[in-house]
Structure 1
Amino acid sequence: MTKDELSKLLYLGENQTIEFKVKAELRVVGSNVCAFLNTRGGYVVCGIEDDTTIIGIESAEVAKDKLERGLMQHILPTSLISVEIQGVEDKQIIVVEVPAGKDIPYSFKNDIYIREDAHTQKADVETIRDMVLRKQVEPERWERRFSDQADVEDLSKPELKKLFESRRFSQEVISDNHGDLLHSLQLVSLAKYGRLTNAADILFAKTPAQRHPQARVRAVCYNKKSDDDYQDIQHMDGPLVVVLEKLLQFIERNTPTKAHFSSESAQREETALYPTRAIREGLVNAFAHRDYANFSGGIKVEVSPEKVEIWNSGAFPEGINERALEAGHISILRNPDIAHILYLLLYMEKLGRGSVLIREACKRHGIPAPQWHSDVNTGVTLTFFAPEVTEQVTPQATPQATPQATPQATPQATPQATPQVIKLLQVLTNEMDRQQIQLALGLKARKNLRLTYLAPALDSGFIEMTQPDSPKSPTQKYRLTPLGKAVKSGKTS
């Protein structure tokens, strides 16, 4: 497998800087992460040799957690760095995604590293002096400025507790600070000199809109945009994650559900019209990347029968466009402190590859590809399109408005199953991996299993993966869907 092929497989984007390492050792990975932060960002992929031979990482989950804690402890100032496990060729590797840093110079264990051509090396005195001078002349980010009149008493204790109890938040930090809230927040750049920053206010204040009107979020639902009356309208204020979850609930209760009939009973089974993970990722991106300095800006969600639109103020950063979103890219963070907290709270994973996750989730869910539109004057809009109505859908009850009548439509015909797929459905019980299925079918060639049995069954919706977001995971298994169970029992028409 070539470097380009591996990059495409891992959704790392085109022409990115990638460093391959055999082991996930902090000593080696840390210096490269530091160098990427001080330059243009990049990826460190552990478990792969320089010639792209994949050897994998043993006990990958343990190695990942240890590496993640070490990077958080020894990279200063703190920065958002994504560490995740991916499955390739039945092996597990660790991918470390590093955005271009906004607070250079960064250090690893008190040494400053940079990239020179394709190599990582310690920075010399002249380079460090240049970094410091550049930092001094750059304007301070809005999220780093002091929040006027905000005090620790204004912060939500339950939301702060979630941060400090997160498995990604260093427990060593908590124990060292002996309950000193401001010092703990200072270590993640949410406070300095005993004062809270705007980022702390936006993230954890009970009513941040009192000080920052642009923090208020608006959500509307309408049948037609020209209608005088909205079916549902909400103005939300509060800690960022609380508002994000309220927005997700707003979208879910104001969008239809797809109805299916279970093969095991006469009861209908309903699933969301839009993939929840894609909607959540879209909302997270809006909060992480919006322009908070624009006092006329904000976030707005519009729900209609045809689509869901998520708008945020602030255009794409320079170098990012719709094509880059399709391929994956090194994340360019407008608000790295806010994004870092979302990562610690387990809301952000893939950074620059979140757009790929959204597209893949929509594809698996059977809805049209989402579209992004960026305008320097108006901001960024992400649009999810509803599928054409080919089956019965039922709007969820909306407390604020009278539900619309349920649209009636003709259900889709059950896809035809080939003899090979029928045989697969008959042997598939509970959850089985490829080796178990291959043995049950009496097949010798894995390629035959994949092309003739698994692929058509997945495409027709008869079976599903237990880990759909990691299709190449070595622990991947398969199970029957309700449709597959119905075909297996002969209850479909």
Structure 2
Amino acid sequence: MRETKNLEFKETVSNTFLKTVSAFANYGTGKIEFGRKDDGSVVGIKDVKSTCLNIENMINDSIKPAPDYSLTISDKNIITLTVKEGSYKPYFYKSKAYKRNDSATVEVDALELTRLILEGQNQSYDSLTSSKNKLEFKILGEKLKSVMGVEKLTKDLLITLELYNKKEGYTIAGELLADNNDFPGIDMVRFGKDINTFLDRAEYAGVSILGQYDKALEKYRQYYQYEVIEGSLRKRIEKIPERAFREAVANALVHRTWDIKSNINISMFDDKIEIISPGSLPKGLSKEEYIDGQISVLRNPIIGNVFFRLGIIERFGTGIHRIFASYKDSKIKPVITVYENSIKLSLPVLESELPKLNDDEYSIYSNLVQRSLTSSEVMELTGFGKTKTLKILNSLLKGGYIEKLGNGRGTRYSVNGF
């Protein structure tokens, strides 16, 4: 038994547990068990009743605002303190807010504190007031006219779209959708045989995110679409589904964290496109829920609403479904990798544009999607011998289907470094 992000052990009661109370109240329900050593072994608490009273007094006197918690006592004299995630964030201990970093408790930085304050006020970053007092919306106006038949973009319409507030002025969402702004954007690079060879590069920053979306789509079409003539007909061929690319870029613009001064990076290779978006999943949303589209949590709801009205996104929470639906007839599927501070989506070239995988190759490839395995683990899952397994892994590596992680006995294999 060991400590985790949501479980901490304390042999005795001291002020240090109050930092973890702050962390659980700020970022997610957790438990502190008093009467256990760091390794989980039981030592128990001698006077459990008075200790419980002491814990209550310490929390009530030290954590502001008051968190929601409960205490229980086991037959081994272990006191379990359960702290629930609160709604009135941030929760401070000695004027500082804390979070869990694996099994440790650390103070949050200024950026995360700002996010906690917004969450406690039930506000989104894109609803905050912009520092700009003069903005133009030519691109937005043209799109509203084309899609919705709006003849003129008035101040009243900007208010309706929550891009402007009569008392405070333009919102961050308004600035992001304006023709010019002070925010990062999209950085697109086309690579050659390796990441050290740049064949083309374009950066779209400081301009409307609607313009960024259009420019990214133009660059995609330049390299991943072509036309062939069949008889008297001209047919468009997509190496990567345009529908998937559209959804991926829109998803990145709507869901990224705009308080991080970093571009959305789009890397273009012969066999795939990788889109890396700043910021991990919205709080309270698991990777499984994100991929399955079970819950829609909009990090930037104002921007999301404008994209929805313009028909760029169809319905909240369905973008990932449509990306995978674009690959329904392909054995090779998109791969989503969730990191602590970013999300990477890999869109592979359609199978028809790549050499076909045989059944044995696909058996190994499919086992490496969304996870990494050692060659021994691959052998166990497929039933292949060592020689055959290594031969196929090397073939997949050479073809660019998988990646090799680490060296020696710790070597693992994965689709796109998951």
Q: Once the 2 structures are TM-superposed, how far is the Cα of residue 161 of structure 1 from its aligned partner?
A: 3.9
Find out whether 1:218 has 2:187 as its counterpart.
yes
Task: Show the counterpart of 2:289.
Answer: 324
Q: Per-residue CA shift, 1:163-221, capped at 9, x if unaligned?
A: 26643x9x7xx9xxxx7832321122111126111101101x2221xx23xx2321000
Q: Once the 2 structures are TM-superposed, how far is the Cα of residue 256 of structure 1 from its aligned partner?
A: 5.9
What is the identity, as a one-letter code, of the residue corresponding to 1:138? Answer: Q
2:222 to 250, 253, 260: 253
Q: Once the 2 structures are TM-superposed, how far is the Cα of residue 389 of structure 1 from its aligned partner?
A: 6.7
* 1:410-421 correspondence to structure 2 within 5 Å: none
1:147 to 127, 130, 140: 130
Q: Per-residue CA shift, 1:257-305, capped at 9, x if unaligned?
A: 4x7663x35x87440101111110111000000000112x231110011
Q: Once the 2 structures are TM-superposed, how far is the Cα of residue 157 of structure 1 from its aligned partner?
A: 2.3
The whole-number CA distance in structure 2 between the counterparts of 1:326 and 1:140 is 25
Secondary structure of residue in 2 paired with 1:254: helix
Find out whether 1:181 has 2:154 as its counterpart.
yes
Secondary structure of residue in 2 paired with 1:219: strand
Measured on the aligned residues, the alpha-carbon RMSD in Å equals 3.2
Secondary structure of residue in 2 paired with 1:250: helix
Q: Per-residue CA shift, 1:56-96, capped at 9, x if unaligned?
A: xxxxxxxxxxxxxxxxxxxxxxxxxxxxxxxxxxxxxxxxx
Task: Show the counterpart of 1:380.
Answer: 343
Distance 1:332 1:198, change over 3 A: same
What is the identity, as a one-letter code, of the residue corresponding to 1:374? Answer: V
The whole-number CA distance in structure 1 between the counterparts of 2:133 and 2:331 is 44
Find out whether 1:236 has 2:204 as its counterpart.
yes
On the 8 A contact 1:190/1:197 being kept in 2, the answer is: yes
Q: Per-residue CA shift, 1:134-154, capped at 9, x if unaligned?
A: 999527432112211341xx3
Larger radius of gyration: 2
On the 8 A contact 1:331/1:351 being kept in 2, the answer is: yes
What is the identity, as a one-letter code, of the residue corresponding to 2:138? Answer: K
Q: Which runs of 4+ in 1 moved over 6 A?
A: none
Task: Show the counterpart of 1:195.
Answer: 169
On the 8 A contact 2:271/2:349 being kept in 1, the answer is: yes
Q: Once the 2 structures are TM-superposed, how far is the Cα of residue 326 of structure 1 from its aligned partner?
A: 4.1
* 1:327-366 correspondence to structure 2 within 5 Å: 327-364=292-329, 366=330
TM-score by length of 1: 0.44
On the 8 A contact 2:129/2:168 being kept in 1, the answer is: no
Secondary structure of residue in 2 paired with 1:277: helix
Q: Percent identity?
A: 21
Distance 1:224 1:390, change over 3 A: closer
Distance 1:344 1:388, change over 3 A: closer
Q: Per-residue CA shift, 1:442-485, capped at 9, x if unaligned?
A: xxxxxxxxxxxxxxxxxxxxxxxxxxxxxxxxxxxxxxxxxxxx
Distance 1:223 1:335, change over 3 A: same
Find out whether 1:274 has 2:247 as its counterpart.
no
* 1:110-129 correspondence to structure 2 within 5 Å: none
Secondary structure of residue in 1 paired with 2:276: strand
The whole-number CA distance in structure 1 between the counterparts of 2:322 and 2:195 is 33
Find out whether 1:292 has 2:258 as its counterpart.
yes
Find out whether 1:159 has 2:140 as its counterpart.
yes
Secondary structure of residue in 1 paired with 2:188: strand
Q: Where does structure 2 lack aligned partners over 5 or more consecutive residues?
A: 1-86, 88-116, 357-418
On the 8 A contact 2:255/2:298 being kept in 1, the answer is: yes
